[in-house]
Amino acid sequence: MLEAHAQKGSLGFFPLFFLMNQHLRRLVFLLLVCTSAVFAQDSAPKAEPVMGTALKGTQEKKKDLAASLSTQREARTMRLSIPAPRGLIVDRNGVALAQNRVVNYLALNFPFMDKATPEMIVSYAKAKMAKANQLLGKNWTLSDEKLLSHYQNRRWLPLVFSIEDTITVELSPEEMEKLKPLFEKGELLPQPAYIRHYPKGDCASHILGYTGKTRRLPEGPIVDGDPLFEEMEGRQGLELSFDAALKGTPGEINLLFDENGELLSEEVLRRPSPGRSVVLTLDYSLQRHAENALQRHARNGGAMVVMDIRNGEILAMASNPSFDPNEFVFGIRDQRWFELNKDPRAPLFGRAFSGEYPPASTFKIVTALGALESGKVTPSSSYHCGISLLIGDRYFHNHNMKNDEGNMNVITAIKRSCNTWFYQAALDVGADAVTNMASRLGFAERTGIPLKGEGRGNLPTNADHKIMGGELANIAIGQGAVTATPLQVCQCMAAIGDGMVMRQPLLVKQVQTISEVVVEAFEPKVRREVNLNPIARDAVVKGMVAVVSGDGGTGRAAGIKQVQIAGKTGTAQWKPAKDQNLAWFTGFLPASQPVLAYSVVYEGRPGERVSGGGIAAPIVHDVFTKYYENAPTDDPLVAAMKDVPQALAVDEGELDPSAAAATATQDAAIRRALPPPPPSEKKTVASFFRRLFRRE
């Protein structure tokens, strides 16, 4: 793990050059001016230096150009910028998620033509391009205007022409081999440049984001400070948030040409300083397990977040579907951009931190804590779990519409996810008890992770408007206007798992230089104290254990053999017009001494019947089973849970006999006095709110 090294400011156990692309060794010219970090280790075919065959003259004796500089147009000096290699983004163990690699573009190398005419210049350039196209089966070309402008203003520098649909195209190793004869003659040359590379493809793509070209290369007369090749900048994700740290400091070189346009010497005025490395809290293995599980079980859309309760570090934050940020490196074609944006599954959308969903029955944990801490409800308080409850002039249903489940306390109500129990508890304690607890646990408040577009969620309160009985019933079971991101739900579970504090969610551990000096560290910190009542928390945890381990629990499919999981299922109607539902599963593990908190959301397909226990819970089982089975023996997370008691006895507590009797008598009287529930309605938008509460 990187943690021990991070404290010392060192990443020495994975040398930077092992993380760079192999072909960096080919960038001969840059090796003369860059730091030793920008190279790799293979014997790939060498490219000509960036300045082309003209650099062969650097070994010649320098000439006195005092007269030539004033009499010959070709004799000149120029000062150019050398873009710095972009810094790495790595996971907590040093696995590279964003790095650099060298590419070669195909470029013209114009000679000085005495008394050249436009026709001569264009003819020369097109003849050379035609030779390359014939060898490669390409149709690369440039306009006459582009060729003439470059010759007039920038003929000392290579002119890249391997361009398709305005996108610069790299040469493959096979193409490089075919072009060797032309390179040897000096008519054409490979123009090396380093670009961004994401070695794990679509892994953590919504977190990493992507880069793009800062600007196109200048086309007019050369001025001091012009870059040798195109620079990159962050456009989305951490590439954008940490762009200033990642981009490094450009170098500078002074070039001297004689009256024939031949390079005589180069003087490095300043070496480029590579960008700083950004070390994440993510665990690549856990992140990949989460992504793989979502790809298997949530093809239409879903997200999973895993957080270390002890320090707030986000170990996995997966969204599905995802995208490959490598598609953006050279510049994305319009058609592909259109496809990604019009895809109904929204692959560019980071569901884990931007998606705002009704939390459904996972919110019952909040309602239970609020009710218990109010003092009006105790762990043994009993409410009748009937098939429906009349509030005002409307029936609010239980997810079990077939059977009256009798009286139950909070533990059994959580295990069975009884809607009607939570309606009654919320109505007895009032809206403030529920919404104040939700605010304590981070709802309707961004977590503050360094990513653009984080969702805020929504939580109605009496401060906004007077919450009446029907709306409070909605809120009590996480429906209606209540929304939250998967990250917020995971943060809530981390706070409950701890019981005393909510820690600030962390996505980045530190930023450090190429020489392994930490320049910025993001230390764990307490975001707020929650100080949950131990009796209330104990009752809720027992209910969450019963969800997974108890007889008749709604989340038994989440259980794993290694540790006991505490959890809560949730199912919500999400997009009624499309008949789309959501499935949730959230909680923490081990139940007796929580270390990891998690949340999973599954987006159902139109018309698909879903449930938190049937679809989201198996994702949790899949991810943690694979993590335990594949983790190294010295994995700190596994070690932290090794000596924890493996199981809590499922204890559903007792019912308050007097409360149970009173509730049953009252419920029976109400049922005798009320008309029967209306018949089932057709699925229309008008009936949405009446149907909304028939789910777990």
pLDDT tens-digit series, residues 336-379? 999 999 999 999 999 999 999 999 999 999 999 999 999 999 99
- Does one domain contain both 410 and 515? yes
- Choose the weakest-confidence range: 162-176, 398-412, 466-480, 551-565: 398-412
Q: What is the dihedral of CA 275, 279, 285, 291, to 10 degrees?
A: -80
Mean predicted confidence (pLDDT) in 653-659: 63
- Does one domain contain both 521 and 616? yes
> Burial code of 182-204, b = ≥16 C-beta within 10 A, e = fewer?
bbeeebbbbbbbbbbbbebebbb
State the pLDDT at residue 637. Answer: 83
State the pLDDT at residue 495. Answer: 98
Cα–Cα distance, 204 to 208 (Å, whole number)? 6
- The three-class DSSP label of residue 502 is strand
Report which listed range, 21-35, 397-411, 663-677, is most confident.
Answer: 397-411
- Has residue 531 got a pLDDT over 80? yes
Confidence of residue 652 (pLDDT cuts 50, 70, 90): confident
State the pLDDT at residue 648. Answer: 67
Nearest to 650 by CA among 536, 534, 552: 552
Residues in contact with 514: Cβ distance below 8 Å, sequence separation at least 6, in sequence order: 16, 35, 37, 87, 273, 274, 276, 277
- Choose the weakest-confidence range: 23-37, 305-319, 578-592: 23-37
Q: Of 280, 310, 325, which residue sits at a domain end?
A: 280
Nearest to 154 by CA among 222, 75, 105: 222
Cα–Cα distance, 82 to 256 (Å, whole number)? 16
Mean predicted confidence (pLDDT) in 69-73: 45
491 against 16, higher pLDDT: 491
pLDDT tens-digit series, residues 428-453? 999 999 999 999 999 999 999 999 99
Q: 76-82 and 226-227 as β-strands: parallel, antiparallel, unpaired?
A: parallel
* Count of positions (residues) in the chain: 696
Mean predicted confidence (pLDDT) in 14-27: 34
Cα–Cα distance, 40 to 392 (Å, whole number)? 72
Mean predicted confidence (pLDDT) in 92-114: 93
Quick one: tokens of 96? 């590279």
Cα–Cα distance, 183 to 174 (Å, whole number)? 14
Confidence of residue 74 (pLDDT cuts 50, 70, 90): low
- Does one domain contain both 109 and 166? yes
- Has residue 478 got a pLDDT over 50? yes
- Asked whether 539 and 378 are in contact (CB, 8 A), the reply is no
Residues in contact with 692: Cβ distance below 8 Å, sequence separation at least 6, in sequence order: 474, 479, 480, 572, 573
Q: Name the DSSP class of 631.
A: S
State the pLDDT at residue 645. Answer: 64
Confidence of residue 259 (pLDDT cuts 50, 70, 90): confident
Please tell me the pTM assigned to this model. 0.85
State the pLDDT at residue 679. Answer: 52
- Asked whether 695 and 573 are in contact (CB, 8 A), the reply is yes
Q: How many CA atoms within 13 Å lie on the side-chain side of 546?
A: 21
Rg (CA), the chain: 32
Mean predicted confidence (pLDDT) in 166-190: 93
- Does one domain contain both 388 and 246? no
> Burial code of 82-100, b = ≥16 C-beta within 10 A, e = fewer?
bbbbbbbbbbbbbbbbbbb
Q: What distance lies between CA 352 and its chain's CA centroid? A: 8
Nearest to 507 by CA among 446, 449, 452, 454: 449
State the pLDDT at residue 185. Answer: 86
Q: What are 408's strand-pairing partners? A: 383
Cα–Cα distance, 474 to 452 (Å, whole number)? 31
- Has residue 162 got a pLDDT over 60? yes
Look up the CATH number of the domain holding residue 88. 3.90.1310.10
**Segments forming the whole domain that contains residue 598:** 284-694
State the pLDDT at residue 318. Answer: 98
Mean predicted confidence (pLDDT) in 78-92: 94
- Does one domain contain both 263 and 327? no
State the pLDDT at residue 215. Answer: 84
- Has residue 646 got a pLDDT over 70? no
- Does one domain contain both 249 and 292? no
552 against 689, higher pLDDT: 552
- Choose the weakest-confidence range: 118-132, 239-253, 275-289, 624-638: 624-638
- Does one domain contain both 198 and 299? no
- Does one domain contain both 314 and 193? no
**Number of helices (H), then strands (E), in the chain:** 25, 26
State the pLDDT at residue 601. Answer: 98
Look up the CATH number of the domain holding residue 514. 3.40.710.10
Mean predicted confidence (pLDDT) in 473-499: 97
- Does one domain contain both 128 and 222? yes
Q: What distance lies between CA 626 and its chain's CA centroid? A: 21
For all residues of the chain together, what is the average pLDDT? Answer: 85
State the pLDDT at residue 116. Answer: 87
Mean predicted confidence (pLDDT) in 601-620: 95
State the pLDDT at residue 641. Answer: 80
Q: Of 258, 280, 302, which residue sits at a domain end?
A: 280
- Does one domain contain both 440 and 480? yes
Quick one: tokens of 645? 């008691």
State the pLDDT at residue 659. Answer: 52
The total domain count for the chain is 2
The H-assigned helical ranges of 9-117 are 16-19, 28-33, 68-71
Quick one: tokens of 280? 């994440």
* Long-range Cβ contacts of 171-179 (<8 Å, 24+ apart): 171/103, 171/104, 171/105, 171/106, 173/44, 173/45, 175/136, 176/45, 176/47, 176/104, 177/45, 178/135, 178/136, 179/106, 179/132, 179/135, 179/136
- Does one domain contain both 187 and 336? no
Backbone angles phi, psi at 512, to 5 degrees: -145, 160
Mean predicted confidence (pLDDT) in 685-689: 46
Confidence of residue 105 (pLDDT cuts 50, 70, 90): very high
Angle at 413 between CA 383 and CA 464, to 5 degrees: 80
Question: Within 10 A of 133 (CB to CB), how many other CB atoms are there?
Answer: 16
Q: Name the DSSP class of 646.
A: S
State the pLDDT at residue 21. Answer: 34
Q: What distance lies between CA 646 and its chain's CA centroid? A: 32
Q: Of 245, 261, 280, which residue sits at a domain end?
A: 280
State the pLDDT at residue 146. Answer: 95
User: What is the share, in percent, of the chain residues with pLDDT greater than 90?
Assistant: 69
Cα–Cα distance, 202 to 291 (Å, whole number)? 9
- Does one domain contain both 263 and 339? no
Confidence of residue 63 (pLDDT cuts 50, 70, 90): very low
